[in-house]
Amino acid sequence: MLFAFVGYCIADLAILSYRDLMLPQSAPPSHPKAPPPDNYVSSGAYNSITSRNIFASSGIIPDALVDKSKGNQEKEAAPVPSQLPLTLIGTLVHSNPAKSIAAIEVRGKNQVISYSPGKDVEGMANIISVERQKVIFRNLNSNRLEYLEMKKEGNKVAFGGARPAASGGKEVMKTGDNTFAIKRSDLLKYTNDLSSILMQARAVPNRDPGTGAINGFRILDMQPGSIYEQLGVQRMDVIKSVDGTPVDSPAKAMELYNSLKNSPKVSIQVERNGKTETMTYNIQ
């Protein structure tokens, strides 16, 4: 056993001593590249096959399939005028597009409801965007983009030009943020001439999109310099309540209107740009 171990060690030392001499000292000679065979054909010779559809008589290669789960990657066609039974009554364009509002009348139901982007209109359309006097939506039946525009004759409201908006000067004075002062004599002048006030603005009942119930009255347009403008009311505002009492019917609106004659102070709750603001009027 001892002699075998000594022999193994001597062999190992011999290999270490002569290993460098056993390694090649130069690179092996290079071999020339074999020439292509006589029947070699380049890939370009197959272009007539790869450039046509061999499974169709027309030879036309169809477009690549698109994964619909990743959305439509092609550019969508421009919106077209809608034939849906809808009429655009008014629009309010907000700096935040998501807060813009379109007042749309559903023909046949005699109701006007306010919609913002993302809302469905009676299962017929989904609002995409609201622009000045125009609303773009997707027709839920055809899935195409369509739009509604306000009628040209509706852009300007006929207020009965024979009556002036105001008797000259300002009857309402702004005393702070959403705070105003009005003389009782001027208030009585307007309350005694109701027909004149009604001709200075155009309003429609505002309905809750979920229930369809009236939850206020939306001011669609008003005559420049009118009492509404002096009171700080803006176009597309929804007058929700007076002194906390909901304005949910024409009769209630008339009742609250007549009660203003003897009130020392009146507060009106207005929905504007999706938020509720309170307008306070001190009657002097």
Residue 144: CB atoms within 10 A of its CB come to 13
Q: For residue 156, what pLDDT is reported?
A: 39
Mean of pLDDT values over 143-147: 93
Q: For residue 102, what pLDDT is reported?
A: 83
User: With contact defined as beta carbons under 8 Å apart, do 106 and 86 qualify?
Assistant: yes
Domain 80-154 has CATH 2.30.30.830: yes
Q: For residue 129, what pLDDT is reported?
A: 92
Instruction: Report the C-alpha gap between 183 and 8 in whole angstroms.
Output: 123
Mean of pLDDT values over 88-116: 79
The two three-digit tokens of residue 131, written as one number: 């622009």
Domain pair 80-154 / 172-283, same fold: no
Instruction: Report the C-alpha gap between 168 and 242 in whole angstroms.
Output: 27
The domain segmentation of the chain, as residue ranges, is 80-154, 172-283
Reply yes or no on whether the pLDDT at 168 is more than 60. Answer: no
Mean pLDDT of the chain: 75
* Pairing mode of beta strands 275-283, 265-272: antiparallel
Instruction: Report the C-alpha gap between 244 and 270 in whole angstroms.
Output: 11
Q: For residue 257, what pLDDT is reported?
A: 65
Handedness of CA 20, 26, 29, 33 (dihedral sign): positive
pLDDT digits (tens, 9 = 90+) for 208-254: 877 878 888 888 878 787 778 888 888 888 888 888 888 776 666 66
Q: Which element (helix H / strand E) includes 216?
A: strand 214-222
pLDDT digits (tens, 9 = 90+) for 66-92: 665 655 556 788 999 999 999 887 777
Reply yes or no on whether the pLDDT at 154 is more than 50. Answer: no
With cut-offs at 50, 70 and 90, classify the pLDDT of residue 111. Answer: low
Range among 40-49, 223-232, 268-277 rated most confident: 268-277
Higher pLDDT: 35 or 282? It is 282
With cut-offs at 50, 70 and 90, classify the pLDDT of residue 21. Answer: low
Angle at the Cα of 46 from the Cα atoms of 43 and 48, rounded to 5 degrees:
145
Q: Out of 125-134, 186-195, 202-211, pick the least confident.
A: 186-195
Top-level CATH class of 172-283? mainly beta
Q: For residue 148, what pLDDT is reported?
A: 92
Mean of pLDDT values over 144-149: 93
Q: For residue 159, what pLDDT is reported?
A: 40
Angle at the Cα of 157 from the Cα atoms of 152 and 160, rounded to 5 degrees:
135
- The SS3 assignment for 110 reads coil
Beta strands in 82-171 (DSSP E): 86-92, 101-106, 111-115, 120-121, 125-131, 134-139, 145-149
- The SS3 assignment for 190 reads helix
User: With contact defined as beta carbons under 8 Å apart, do 162 and 179 qualify?
Assistant: no
C-beta contacts of 278-281 below 8 A and 24+ residues apart:
278/178, 279/178, 279/180, 279/231, 279/232, 279/233, 280/178, 280/179, 280/180, 281/172, 281/180, 281/181, 281/182, 281/231
* Pairing mode of beta strands 238-242, 245-246: antiparallel
Q: For residue 79, what pLDDT is reported?
A: 92
Closest among 202, 173, 241 to 103, alpha carbons compared: 202
pLDDT above 90 coverage of the chain, percent: 10
Provide the 8-state DSSP code for 70: G
Q: For residue 155, what pLDDT is reported?
A: 38
Query: What are residue 13's phi and psi, to 5 degrees?
Result: -65, -35
Mean of pLDDT values over 104-123: 82
Q: For residue 125, what pLDDT is reported?
A: 93
53: amino acid identity, one letter: N
Q: For residue 157, what pLDDT is reported?
A: 39
Q: Out of 15-29, 53-67, 157-171, pick the least confident.
A: 157-171
Q: Which element (helix H / strand E) includes 242?
A: strand 238-242
